[in-house]
Amino acid sequence: MRRLDGNPERALRRTRNLLADRALGDLDLEAQGELERLLARNPTLDDGSMERAATALALALMGSRGQLLPDDLRRRLEGC
Give the global pTM.
0.69
Q: Which 3 state secondary structure label does DSSP give 36?
A: helix
* Ordered alpha helix ranges (H), the chain: 8-23, 29-41, 49-63, 71-78
Tell me which DSSP letter residue 13 carries: H
Euclidean distance between CA atoms 48 and 3, whole angstroms: 25
In tens, the pLDDT along 52-63 reads 888 888 777 776
Tell which residue, 77, 74, 80, has the closest CA to residue 46: 80
pLDDT confidence bin for 37, thresholds 50/70/90? very high
